[in-house]
Amino acid sequence: MNVVPDTSVVIDGRVSASIDDGQFHGATVSVPEAVVAELEAQANDGLDSGWDGLGELKRLAELADEGIIELEYVGDRPSAIERGHASEGEIDAVIRDIAEDLEATFVTSDIVQAEVAQAKGLETDYLSPEVRRVGTLAIEEYFDDGTMSVHLKTDTVPKAKRGAIGEMHYEAVADEPLDEATMDEYAREVVDGAREATGGFIELSEPGMKIVQFREYRIAIARPPFSDGIEITAVRPIVQTDIDDYEHADELKGRLLEHQRGVLISGAPGAGKSTFAQSVARFLNDNDYAVKTMEKPRDLQVGPEITQYTELAGKMEKTADALLMVRPDYTIYDEVRKTDDFEVFADMRLAGVGMIGVVHATRPIDALQRLVGRVELGMIPQVVDTVVYIDAGEIATVYNVKTEVKVPAGLTEEDLARPVILITDFQTGKPAYEIYTFNRQVVTVPLEDGVDEKESGVDRIAKSEIEREIRAIARGYVDVQLKSQNRAVVYVDEDDISTVIGKGGGRITDVENRLGIDIDVRTHDENPNHGSSRNGGASQGEQVERSTQPQGQIVTPEITSRHIIIPVDGNQGETVEVQAGGEYLFTATVSRGGEIQVSRGSAIADDLESAIDRKRPVTVVPS
């Protein structure tokens, strides 16, 4: 008896199993070189299937050494063209041709291969794919009622995050580290369970990384060379809430049911954003709204009535196109993070779909600011009219977003009236922020009560704009002091007086007209603080310039799919501070290659990415 197996049945280990059962005892097993090439390519890509198949070939060799079967390798390795068209069946055809030439039994666990082989008159033995039946997973033993996530890695002690939302603790949940064999068994069980279980599926499968949904668990499995060891991270929701459990529930319910809204649910990682989004989804569904979700990966816990969509052909834009044909009343978008996500969110909202987006943000206003530069400023209130900020599982802040044509707070000239995005506290109705264009720049101005007028956001912006305008004219140091909301004094070097004022006062008048502020130009000697402004030879103007300009080395971070990379000129091996707009973000050590890498998804990366989105200058300062 002569047997030709294809790649699928070798990966499943069904050839050696059939030999052990006596079915192929004494047969000649002819393994096509095309099968070996496929397994080698998969193993090189870090895929479990490749390693499983190579393990099966080793078992066949052992059976041949024992004289139970005869083993031979036949045919040629596939050409580059055949490998390039593998998905179109080119390599499958090569394997079938070998079986036909040898007049052998063709063995496969691929139903399509079996049907084609039988149609071509080949003697075919179809073996159903081997499926491991899994009731519960071994890693579930690490969970208790208060466990949100379990973190396992080769040669480390298992850990878990446990506690109430907002009070999670990262703690060891075993005494001994896990060895590689145990981790490998856990990983294989997870993948097999996802293939078998109802409600289980493999969300993402790339060389070195799999993301699996197994019932209520979302499980990420990383393998070398992508990671430096086998790592399994399993997450599950520990709380399922109802919208009535939250403060302001009645007002929010009325707002959501009034008409389709654009809502951003924001908060820090682990704050309970997704839990609240799930409660909103169930509430809308219970009130006869057609609700869908857009997720990658899909991990929201919603009922079967709510269909969960992921990327279509690798793009959320295509998912959005499909959803527009489905015509949902509301779509939950989890998570809105990249520019493409915001653009898809805005496009669907402007098409009339109610949109609820989940966004990482450390402050309520940050969620809205992430739209700036990605959506035309005047369209933001049409895209997002409500911001809900979640902290420690509770609704901490709700903002109402609308546009008014008005003079921005702190300015008095009527000709400065412009469209202003007004962000007000949903509960009290008090204005909290204004966003508008000031001298070609988009600014966000806080309007909190009790802020000293001299330190108000408007004053800081006005002072910065005046300094910028005058520095473009003057050659020496510039010092600006605001005397009122519509008057300022500018101190410059005596040699710059005539240059700044201009012939007949024309130049300074142009600046005043552009900024809407009266400006009095004087010399530094007339500055009342002039005598105390010197420090080691530096004038007050010089100190102002230092305080308003970013210190250190200005860098241009590069955002990749997994990291934010900050190139640094020099300072290799040294500890440096990374700042954004002069504000401290974090401390890091520059690598030998002259760069700093920050893993995306961390709180530091979120702050850095937010600063980049807001076009704040990023600088590196030696510690």
How confident is residue 448, by pLDDT bands cut at 50, 70 and 90? low
Look at residue 148 in the predicted model and tell me its pLDDT. Answer: 84
Final residue belonging to a domain, choices 235, 268, 285: 235
Look at residue 50 in the predicted model and tell me its pLDDT. Answer: 83
* Lowest-confidence region among 288-292, 356-360, 527-531: 527-531
Verify that 364 and 428 share a domain, yes or no: yes
Total number of domains constituting the chain: 5
Verify that 566 and 537 share a domain, yes or no: no
Look at residue 569 in the predicted model and tell me its pLDDT. Answer: 85
Q: Taking the model in full, what pTM does it have? A: 0.56
Residue 167: C-alpha distances to residues 242, 272, 439 (Å)? 20, 11, 44
524 neighbors 479 (Cβ within 8 angstroms): yes
Verify that 290 and 334 share a domain, yes or no: yes
Look at residue 479 in the predicted model and tell me its pLDDT. Answer: 84
- Which alpha helices (DSSP H) does 424-574 contain, by range? 457-471, 497-501, 506-515, 540-548
The answer to the question of residue 511 being in a domain is: yes
Look at residue 353 in the predicted model and tell me its pLDDT. Answer: 93
Nearest partner of 327 among 362, 360, 353, judged by Cα: 353
The answer to the question of residue 316 being in a domain is: yes
The answer to the question of residue 342 being in a domain is: yes
Nearest partner of 374 among 574, 587, 614, 606, judged by Cα: 614
**Cα gap 186→582, rounded to integer Å:** 47
Average pLDDT in the 261-273 region?
Answer: 87
Look at residue 410 in the predicted model and tell me its pLDDT. Answer: 66
The predicted-structure confidence for 287-331, as pLDDT tens digits, reads as follows: 999 999 998 877 787 888 899 898 888 889 999 999 989 889 999
Look at residue 81 in the predicted model and tell me its pLDDT. Answer: 63
Verify that 199 and 95 share a domain, yes or no: no
Look at residue 529 in the predicted model and tell me its pLDDT. Answer: 64
The answer to the question of residue 185 being in a domain is: yes
Verify that 111 and 155 share a domain, yes or no: no
Q: Is a pLDDT exceeding 80 seen at residue 349?
A: yes
Average pLDDT of the residues of the chain:
82
* Lowest-confidence region among 84-88, 172-176, 547-551: 547-551
Residue 95 three-state SS:
helix
Evaluate the omega torsion of the peptide bond into residue 225 and state whether it is cis, within 30 degrees of 0. Answer: yes
The answer to the question of residue 133 being in a domain is: no
Verify that 199 and 213 share a domain, yes or no: yes
How confident is residue 370, by pLDDT bands cut at 50, 70 and 90? confident
Strands 209-214 and 217-222: antiparallel
How confident is residue 381, by pLDDT bands cut at 50, 70 and 90? very high
Verify that 227 and 305 share a domain, yes or no: no
Handedness of CA 98, 103, 109, 111 (dihedral sign): positive
Nearest partner of 172 among 157, 152, 185, 183, judged by Cα: 157
* Lowest-confidence region among 31-45, 323-337, 531-545: 531-545
Look at residue 464 in the predicted model and tell me its pLDDT. Answer: 73
Q: Is a pLDDT exceeding 50 seen at residue 402?
A: yes
Residue 456: C-alpha distances to residues 27, 260, 431 (Å)? 87, 36, 14
Tell me the CATH number at 185.
3.30.450.90
Look at residue 85 in the predicted model and tell me its pLDDT. Answer: 52
H helix and E strand count, the chain: 19, 32
Higher pLDDT, 263 or 615: 263
Final residue belonging to a domain, choices 402, 425, 446: 446
Residue 66: C-alpha distances to residues 13, 23, 62, 104 (Å)? 18, 17, 6, 23
The predicted-structure confidence for 191-237, as pLDDT tens digits, reads as follows: 888 877 666 788 778 888 888 888 778 899 999 888 899 999 998 87
Instruction: Fill in the amino acid letter for 206.
Output: E
The predicted-structure confidence for 466-479, as pLDDT tens digits, reads as follows: 887 887 788 777 88
**Cα gap 16→461, rounded to integer Å:** 75
The answer to the question of residue 288 being in a domain is: yes
Q: Is a pLDDT exceeding 80 seen at residue 86?
A: no
Verify that 422 and 332 share a domain, yes or no: yes
The answer to the question of residue 131 being in a domain is: no
Average pLDDT in the 14-29 region?
Answer: 87
Q: Is a pLDDT exceeding 50 seen at residue 541?
A: no
Verify that 229 and 284 share a domain, yes or no: no
Look at residue 139 in the predicted model and tell me its pLDDT. Answer: 93
Verify that 230 and 263 share a domain, yes or no: no
524 neighbors 530 (Cβ within 8 angstroms): yes
Q: Is a pLDDT exceeding 80 seen at residue 46?
A: no
The answer to the question of residue 247 being in a domain is: yes
Q: Is a pLDDT exceeding 60 seen at residue 534?
A: no
Verify that 542 and 557 share a domain, yes or no: no
Q: List, in sequence order, every residue forming a beta bridge with 418; answer none if it has no partner.
A: 406
The predicted-structure confidence for 118-170, as pLDDT tens digits, reads as follows: 998 889 998 877 655 557 889 999 999 888 889 999 999 999 988 876 677 88
How confident is residue 595, by pLDDT bands cut at 50, 70 and 90? confident
Tell me the CATH number at 46.
3.40.50.1010
Give residue 187's domain range. 138-235
Verify that 469 and 509 share a domain, yes or no: yes
Q: In what order do the strands lie in the sheet with 70-74?
A: 70-74, 28-32, 2-5, 105-108, 124-126
580 neighbors 611 (Cβ within 8 angstroms): yes
| Per-range mean pLDDT, top range of 425-434, 454-463, 595-604 | 425-434
Final residue belonging to a domain, choices 411, 446, 481: 446
Tell me the CATH number at 342.
3.40.50.300
Q: Is a pLDDT exceeding 50 seen at residue 509?
A: yes
Look at residue 156 in the predicted model and tell me its pLDDT. Answer: 94
Residue 160: C-alpha distances to residues 144, 191, 217, 544 (Å)? 10, 21, 14, 50
